[in-house]
Structure 1
Amino acid sequence: MTSLSWAVPATGQEEARRKRDERRRRAARRSRWKDSVEAALWLVGVGSLAFMLSSGTVDVTSLSGFLVTMGRITGIVASTMIMGQLILIARMPVVERVVGHDRAARLHGQLGRMGFLVMLAHIVTLVLGYALPTQTGIWDQTWQLIVAYGGPMFLAWAGFAVLTIVVVTSLALVRSRWRYENWHAVHIFSYIAVGLAIPHQFTDGETFMAMDFAWWYWLTLWTVAVGGLIAYRVVRPLVRYFRHRISVAAIDTLADGSTVITLTGRDLLRMRPEAGQFFLFRFLQKDLWGEAHPYSLSRAPLDRWMRITVKPLGDHSARMNELKIGTTVMVEGPLGVFTEKTRTGDHLVLAGSGIGITPILAFLETADIDPGRCTVIARASSIEQAPHLDEVIAIAEQRGARVHVLTGPRGDGWSPAENPVRIAELVPDIADADVYACGPTAWVESLFADAEASGLSQKHLHAEEFSW
């Protein structure tokens, strides 16, 4: 374990108090916005069910009527979940700033799994409800729903079949055996499945056919969800491509095998990137243009310059050293809330493992640091395997931050096996700190468990993880 530190004087108590109060006000505003977004999603579903109940088409006087009613309820709930999924993954600025990309992606996945089960319940209850009074049998009734109700219903069944394939390939057992690129290619079909399922809600949904206002309400919601996805996942990247003209300016290779990619463009700060955030980069070069991958900024961006550092951990990242100078780049972002805006404590702890040090380096460069109240932890198997360590040390010295470089094989926790250490030993005032950590999921979880054992609450723990 190598430890480097600098003793510097503390700032005045009045200035420290002012900054603390501002951070807490900012956190409170973000919490209110977060609650508002979540409440809006709940109100969408509640409003839709309210329209159904007031439409006069609800029948619970018989078993078949009850099953059909439950089928309609589960259909509305499943559709609301799908809308929520689209909004969460559309990368709308308000969602990105309030929820954060990592959490939005996790919620997107959870809603997808739950929504599929609710959708399955929707199909089963409707088939049973329609089959009971006709006595035609389940399979015959299923066939009738597929072919006899017209094109929109047939498309909905086709969409469900496509979605089933997507869900199966997203299961952890299957996903763990797939390359990211293969999984992502199949996952794209989920949007096709949604598109196929939407029309039947307007042509066969009794709630929305019975009430004009409900029909327009439902159309507005789908327009926001689908329109937001198209606007921020398709239109905005194209606009930024032509506006900013980002291209590869230089390529370099570090001792640990990481590729340093310097990018240049026009008016890059108009995208409002912040140190600690990442972009989805699509390099428009043969055999690379079809995939967009997330890479964190490894230095604070400038108006005509930004930099990323990529560790060869997968097929796409391993080919970054093949990029040609002048290759144009399409970007989505900036993404993530791994920024100072989520900070509330006085002491700043920045911890990175391996390539996870890159957003830490950018963060360190621009963070609001009170001298002597910032600690940087760089974790690597060896000094050679710690990318940009020289820059970390140089910037930390300029900014009055303490640096702890922990090297060696990992033990049961997050620190080296031969020299285990607790985070409270490196940060004496850990109880008054915010910990930002980036690295492999298991390492981050171990570090956070140590921080919580030292008295920190989860709201003071901020992660940027390498997982998919």
Structure 2
Amino acid sequence: MSLATPVQGSGPRLDEWSRISARRARGVTQDRRRDAVEAAAWLAGTGAIALALASGTLDVTSPSGVLISGGRLAGIVASTLIMVQLVLIARIPVVERTLGHDRAARLHGTLGRLGFLVMIAHVALLVAGYALVARIGVLTQAWELAVAHGGPMTLAWIGAVLLIAVVVTSYAAVRRRWAYESWHAVHVFAYLAVGLSIPHQLTDGSTFMAGGFAWWYWAALWTVAVGGLLVFRVARPLVRMRRHRVRVAATGVLADGSTAIAMTGHRLGRLRARGGQFFLFRFLAPGVWGQAHPYSLSRAPREDWMRITVKPLGDGSAALAGLRPDTRVMVEGPFGLFTDAHRRGNHLVLAGAGIGITPVLALLEDSDLRPGECTVIVRAHAERDVPHLDELRSLAAAKGAALHVLVGPRGDGWAPQAAPVRLGHVVPGLAGADVFACGPTGWVGALMDDAARAGVPAERRHSEGFSW
């Protein structure tokens, strides 16, 4: 099977005003959906705090009471942050369509670090408060809670220790020393830590242990968070594997060293993927089946065909060059807002560097364009480092898009050192355009800063950066 497919026609187009109005309407809908998701997260946490205040069990009349009450409230906040984390990383479709996978993952990490600090405050305040009541040392009191108390409380302490290990290994200084596969194996223990911490909230927490409305409220929130994770990260991929029967059709190594992997399947159109999006792929072959990695589509998907192009940046990605035809594939997705559906302006700028060029290729193919309405910018050290360059040139010509291949060592910004151009010089009227950029995080950031200085508003700057 060929690793490339012919360019598809773009089909009928609306008049210019209708097209711009439709883009703006999509933007308004996206903003409202984002506001609704954020409001739901805030309401979940404030509702729990309100129930704690209404319970009448908080004591602020003594030093020990202040410490214990502060610890209980900190526990509610920490648990709420963990719930939101689970929802963000559960790959729930409405969350993915609203925030995008990259933003959801960043928020997941940020809330994880914040939640960890609040959890430490929860433990410290409770231990200090109960130590004051019992008139014993804090270490003795900690031992009493962790071991002597037994049951769900002991499980919660074990979960806290596991969570400390996960958080420490998540800091960039530690992650840089680890292979992705090693870090991911440790990170999975975060789910076990969360599972161990839930029971004590419903059996030992003063606010939620009585079995009344507060108990059911808290149980419902945990059901949504954990249930979403199980449904969309466990059950759904298994169902899709059975339904769509995705298998490797062919592989090929390109001149730049990357591997193109073509896959076939049954009714892949029902996945509703768009050019520019990515899936999490788990190839069920020896040595690689244990990891699911995100790879962007490198051509717009078809009803029975899709293709990705993978740069050998680690052990897992390098091993994919040896995949055999007919290897079964488990897919999760599609993910990402890097699509023409999120375009709002009157011109489209597509910029890619490194393997980030491949989603640009798919997005170009999938975009509804008129001649002269798109500018494509490609950055590489040399033309031989650009994956699918011939396809990109043919597609740009067919779409009437201007293509700029900028090669050479990088300078201080995003452009080559020998030709330090500004984005506004390459794209006249840049302020009215949408800018989509994909590539290494530093390069994408430099290009987006340039677009911002040229007057492109934040809602029309779309980026996907990759790093480990």
User: Smaller-chain TM-score range?
Assistant: over 0.9
Residue in structure 2 matched with residue 130 of structure 1 by the alignment: 130
Structure 2 CA distance for aligned equivalents of residues 429 and 399 of structure 1: 20
**Alignment partner of 1:20 is 2:55:** no
Per the alignment, in what secondary structure is the counterpart of residue 330 of structure 1? strand
Q: Tell me what 1:332 maps to.
A: 332
TM-score, length basis structure 2: 0.96
Are 1:271 and 2:268 counterparts? no
Structure 1 runs, 4 residues or longer, greater than 6 Å off: none
2:311 corresponds to: 311
1:79 alignment partner in structure 2 = 79
Return the alpha-carbon distance in structure 2 between the equivalents of residues 273 and 455 of structure 1: 31
Q: After superposition, give the CA deviation of every residue in 1:329-350 in whole Å (9 maximum; x if it has no partner).
A: 0011111111112211010000
CA shift for structure 1 position 449: 1.2
Contact 1:276 1:359 in 2 (8 A): yes
SS of the residue corresponding to residue 411 of structure 1 reads coil
Using the TM superposition, give the Cα deviation of residue 466 of structure 1 relative to its aligned residue in structure 2, in angstroms. 1.3
One-letter code of the match for 2:69? T
Q: AA paired with 1:317?
A: S
**Is the Cα–Cα contact under 8 Å of residues 269 and 302 in structure 1 kept in the other structure?**
yes
Give, in angstroms, the shift of residue 419 of structure 1.
1.7
Map of 2:196 onto structure 1: 196
Q: Deviation digits for residues 140-162 of structure 1, max 9, x if unmatched?
A: 11111112323100000000000
Secondary structure at 2:315 match in 1: coil
Question: Which residue is equivalent to 2:372?
Answer: 372
Distance in structure 2 (CA, Å) of the matches to 1:158 and 1:389:
53
Aligned to 1:44: 44
Comparing 371-380 and 90-99, the one that deviates more: 371-380
1:157 is aligned with what amino acid?
W
Secondary structure of residue in 2 paired with 1:228: helix
Shift of 1:211: 5.5
Q: Counterpart in 2 of 1:64?
A: 64
Tell me how far apart the structure 2 counterparts of residues 319 and 134 of structure 1 sit (CA, whole Å): 59
Q: What secondary structure, in the 3-state scheme, does the structure 1 residue paired with 2:209 have?
A: helix
Q: Is there any run of 5+ residues in structure 1 with no aligned partner, and where?
A: 1-10
Whether the 8 Å CA contact 2:414–2:443 is kept in 1: the answer is yes
Partner of 2:415: 415
Any conservation in 1 of the 2:371–2:399 contact (CA below 8 Å)?
Answer: yes
Q: Distance in 2 between matches of 1:369 and 1:425?
A: 22
Corresponding residue for residue 30 of structure 1 = 30
Alpha-carbon offset, residue 299 of structure 1: 0.3
Conserved? CA contact 1:431–1:454, under 8 Å = yes
1:6 corresponds in structure 2 to none
Aligned residues: 457
- Asked which structure has the greater RCO (Cα within 8 Å, sep 6+), the reply is 1
Q: Deviation at 1:56?
A: 1.6
- Return the offset for 1:268: 0.5
Aligned equivalents of 1:434 and 1:34: distance in 2?
20
Counterpart of 1:391? 391
Instruction: Spell out, residue by residue over 1:306-362, the C-alpha distance to the aligned partner (whole angstroms, 9 max, x if none).
Output: 000011111111111111111100011111111112211010000011211100000
SS in 1 for 2:344: coil
- Measured against aligned partners, the alpha-carbon deviations of 1:82-111 in whole angstroms (never above 9, x if no partner) come to 000000000000000000000000000000
Query: How many angstroms does 1:210 deviate by?
Result: 3.6
- Contact 2:349/2:435 (8 A) holds in 1: yes
Structure 2 distance, partners of 1:35, 1:223, is: 23
Q: Which residue of 2 aligns with 1:171?
A: 171
DSSP 3-state at the match of 2:132: helix
Partner of 2:6: none
C-alpha distance in 1, partners of 2:142/2:450? 54
In the superposition, the TM-score normalised over structure 1's length comes to 0.96
Cα distance in structure 2, aligned partners of 1:216 and 1:410: 57
Alpha-carbon distance in 1 for matches of 2:77, 2:453: 40
1:401 counterpart residue number: 401
Partner of 1:297: 297
Distance in 1 of aligned mates of 2:133 and 2:223: 37
Pairwise CA RMSD: 1.2
TM-superposed CA distance for 1:379, in Å, is 1.0
Counterpart of 2:442 in structure 1 is 442
**Is contact 1:55–1:210 with CA below 8 Å preserved after alignment?**
no
Kept after mapping to 2: 8 A contact 1:55/1:211: no
Uncovered stretches (5+) of structure 2, i.e. residues with no partner:
1-11
How many Å separate the matches in 2 of 1:255 and 1:140? Answer: 65
- TM-superposed CA distance for 1:420, in Å, is 1.8
1:150 equivalent in structure 2: 150
2:100 is the counterpart of 1:100: yes
What residue is the counterpart of 1:7 in the other structure? none
- Secondary structure, counterpart of 2:23 in structure 1: helix
